[in-house]
Amino acid sequence: MASDQNIYFILAVHNHQPVGNLPEVFQKNFEEAYEPFISVLERYPGVSIGLHYSGSLLEWLEENEPGFIRRLRELVERGQVELLGGAYYEPILPVIPEEDKVGQVRYMSSRLQELFGVTPRGMWLAERVWEPHLARPIREAGLEYLALDDAHFLEVGVEELTGYFRTEEGGWPLDVFPISEELRYLIPFKPPGETIVFFKERRDDGKHPLLVLADDGEKFGGWPGTYETVYEGGWLEEFFGLLEENRHWLKVVTFNRYRQMYPPRGPLYLPAASYREMKEWSGGFWRNFLTRYPESNRLHKKMLAVRHRLELLPPGEPRREAQKLIWAGQCNCAYWHGVFGGLYLNFLRAAIWGRLLRAERLIDSRLQPGPFLKVEAVDQNYGGEKEIRIRSDRFTLLLAPHRGGSLWELSWKPVGVNLLDTLTRRPEPYHRELTEEGPDPEPSEEGVVSIHHQKKVKDKKLVEHLHYDGYPRVALVEHFLSAAVGLEEFITGDYREPGDFLMQPAIAGFYPLPGDGGNGDGDGGSPGGRGIKIVFRRSAMLEGRGPLIMEKAITVCAGRDRIDLDYCLHNRGSEPIEYWFGVEFNLAMLGGYDRGRWFEIPGRELAERHPASSGSEEGVEEVSLHDSYRNFGVTLQLGRPARLWRAPVKTISLSEGGLEQAYQQSMLLPCWKIELLPEDRWLVSLKINLFSPVAKGERGQLEEKVGV
């Protein structure tokens, strides 16, 4: 039987938009979630809550809705809102360097003091991804408590979850509050009265029980169907009204207020964990995303590589500017995928790449003014094999000898774009919904269905476009194809290549071009010079014919926006070899159907020019892709007339709106018919040229527009 004992309730709301999210998404969530929530809260002064706004969202609010900032400050000043700190750009805290953990948290605290006149004592932990070592950097940054999901506590056998606990790392204490998963699914998806019943059932004499809901603010209007329920249907008004009506026994408090009233229940050590759904998506441990998605790992390791070079800069404004760009490049959303688009949203990945490349360019410009070239053999991706990293004042390239000398990063520094910010098509568990699942769950009269339970398919014909790749979709990937293979078979993967040639290991040789040398910047790489030629050599048997020797030479020069490629095929066998030989390029153009992005083949009128168009053209000697939004273009010049295939690579992924198809990149395959008698050689040269249509030739003067 319920007693008259008070029960305490903490409501904390986390509001966030990723770095690089679309302006209309910021605006829509402001109008449908952030502003109406505060409007209702202002009418219920008896309801006190915790609020957290990520740095990327705060910056948007400052620029676009300064009046909203003033309203928040008034709520803070009257004691109705406790502002929570956190890491400024919402990184997954365990996977960034220790200095950045402390630095981002301190920076957020300083910004809250500047904007609202308060210094936070508690924080929001991005995606509630916890690892035990975090207690120390969080306390070093000046914060004292945070909330974690009850799944963390249940894993170590804690059953009494109506209070808070204290943990420590190396003697640095941190208080942790358990978030109720049951409340996460009640609020705001069930009638408000059900939450009040939930509280009544948990009243407990003598233990001042506490229940916590700390969750996304977008669920109050931003998630599908919630605006109609929460505001048009009056859910939030009714809920806040019930909280005030029952305040004689249901005490709505903030984290800090409860800590002032009651001590922690005792010491507790929690394992690495997150909320239940995140554990399902990641396979139990968030860092598994870095293994599951090589694209995420490349992005993360690029961040670490740029962060390492930051240490070479002396203190001062350039270092602070580069540091903030790297922090923005640590924003978590593009690094993982669950019910939200995340990694599958190409504009989020491009925004992170853009910040990191701008930081890299800034660092390079201070360490080595003017043209330079640096070549290093490094295990940048921490996979156990060394890649070849080429850095110049114009490019950063990453080549993989163990994958045939394929190209995995093609970053052009003047505009901060990685043209190989591509995505490989792979199976996802929810793809089964296209063929195996039943109809979408219908909202009941009691409320809207949680986003975690929605199963929507935007296009019922998506299953026809469900294809997977047998190799990574990068660049400088060589293929041998029979005459029977067409463009459709190639792009869907419904074909077989002869032999074992595709992306097999190659031996690399380095041939510096003459130059003045002395361009080293003191970070442990090889001395620079005018240029470098790297030759990859490998052999293969093609259906019993061969061996066929392939040499691929890549030449990069300091101060030059061109990459030269030279291929030599040598038939060392006793039988003729007849195949189509192709070199695959995947180029990330962000928008597949945008008017400001297009293909161009000189002297030809293409029926469709947009990046998501498909086609086969004979006798092509040059093809270009233009991006007017980001102010650059790329031209591929072919030393021999080629048959050119082009096609979009599209993924089918889960987002807030359901399963959807999305353009990721444009595939180009110039190919040639080769007929090699024993000991014959076949040669072809290609050139990759990057340029700016608006400021062609004016190096380093372009404004970065990453994320448009």
Residues taking part in catalysis: 127, 216
Cβ-contact 542, 577 below 8 angstroms: yes
* Number of helices (H), then strands (E), in the chain: 18, 26
H or E segment at 6? none
- Give the number of C-alpha atoms closer than 13 A to the C-alpha of residue 284, restricted to the C-beta side: 2
Cβ-contact 78, 118 below 8 angstroms: no
Q: How far apart are CA 383 and CA 275, in angstroms?
A: 28
Burial class of 43 by CB neighbour count within 10 A (0 to 12, 13 to 18, 19+): exposed
Cβ-contact 325, 357 below 8 angstroms: no
Compute the radius of gyration of the chain from its Cα atoms.
28
DSSP 267: B
Q: How far apart are CA 262 and CA 595, in angstroms?
A: 61
| Residues 156, 161, 166, 169, CA torsion sign | positive
Q: What Cα–Cα distance (Å) separates residue 249 from each residue in 42, 52, 196?
A: 22, 27, 11
Cβ-contact 497, 579 below 8 angstroms: no
Strands 406-412, 417-418: pairing is: antiparallel
Cβ-contact 55, 111 below 8 angstroms: yes
Which are the contacts of 180, defined by CB distance < 8 A and separation ≥ 6?
150, 161, 211, 212, 213
Cβ-contact 652, 337 below 8 angstroms: no
- Give the number of C-alpha atoms closer than 13 A to the C-alpha of residue 296, restricted to the C-beta side: 22
Structural tokens at position 342: 């995340």
Burial class of 51 by CB neighbour count within 10 A (0 to 12, 13 to 18, 19+): buried
Tokens 């089964």 locate to 432
Tokens 């009638």 locate to 191
Q: How far apart are CA 420 and CA 407, in angstroms?
A: 8
Structural tokens at position 85: 């700190």
DSSP per-residue codes, 639-708:
EEEEEEEEEEEEEEEEETTEEEEEEEEEEEEEEEEEEE-TT-EEEEEEEEEEE-SSSTT-TT-PPP-TT-
3-state DSSP helix/strand/coil % of the chain, to nearest 5: 30, 30, 40
How large is the angle between the packed helices 55-64 and 66-77, nearest 10 degrees?
Answer: 110
Ramachandran area for residue 550 (φ above 0: left; ψ -120 to 50: alpha; else beta): beta
Strands 562-571, 545-557: pairing is: antiparallel
Q: How far apart are CA 54 and CA 58, in angstroms?
A: 6
